[in-house]
Amino acid sequence: MAKPTAPRGLARQRVLDAALALFAAHGVHGTSLQMIADRIGVSKAAVYYQFRSKEDIALEVLRPSVEDMARVIRIADALPDVEARRAVIVSGLIEMTVRYRELAVFFHGDPAIDQLVHSEPEFDVVTTRIRELLEGSDCTVADRVALSVFLSGVCKAAADPGLADVDDGELHRILLELSGRILAPLATESAAAGASRSPSASRSG
């Protein structure tokens, strides 16, 4: 093929790196294509040569982390046990979040990103399956709240500028322990379960 893939690949990566830094500082909404172009010293037209839109850039910035999670899902789905699958997803999310610390800040928090992820079928499949594996078939109100605290809390903490001095290994260890506590069954759960289920109903997960 005559297409100059190597230089184009390099130019693409420069756009993605610049976009990531700007998204982290200003959010996706607060970043313009012009700001991205200015940061790497090229024209807006040069950026448009590589990407259709700012949303297109944001999706490409996220793509490696989503592809990693798709692999973790395949690993989890191969396991026969519900609890084991869930543990793989929890551990995989923490690993990914720590590895992509700069990404985490806008992946979990920016409403523009939520809309974007849902608009890309390939990404939506991954986030939906993560949720299914985490929720299992028997999810109480307390479980749902705990999952929400886990997803926002752990992912945002990884990206907290106040924790930038904490090294990846230590952060990973602490987040794993916190996640175990957050996702363990709650005392209030039995009360909530009693209110929403027949006491005699047997649970088959």
Chain positions contacting a second copy, by CB under 8 A: 24-27, 29-30, 105, 108-112, 141-142, 144-146, 148-150, 152-154, 156-157, 160, 162-163, 166, 170-171, 173-175, 177-178, 181-182, 184, 186-188, 192
Q: Is 51 helix (H, G, I), strand (E, B) or coil?
A: coil
What is the smallest separation between the CB atom of 165 and a second copy, expressed in angstroms?
A: 8
* Long-range pairs of 9-13 with CB within 8 A, sequence gap ≥ 24: 11/46, 11/50, 12/50, 12/51, 12/60
Q: Is 142 helix (H, G, I), strand (E, B) or coil?
A: helix
What is the smallest separation between the CB atom of 15 and a second copy, expressed in angstroms?
A: 20
| Cβ burial 179-201 (10 Å sphere, 16+ → b, else e) | beebbeebeebeebbeeeeeeee
Residue among 42 and 127 whose Cβ is closer to a second copy = 127
Residue among 11 and 141 whose Cβ is closer to a second copy = 141
What is the smallest separation between the CB atom of 175 and a second copy, expressed in angstroms?
A: 7
Residue among 9 and 180 whose Cβ is closer to a second copy = 180
Q: Is 110 helix (H, G, I), strand (E, B) or coil?
A: coil
Residue among 75 and 163 whose Cβ is closer to a second copy = 163
AA identity, residue 162 = G
What is the smallest separation between the CB atom of 33 and a second copy, expressed in angstroms?
A: 15
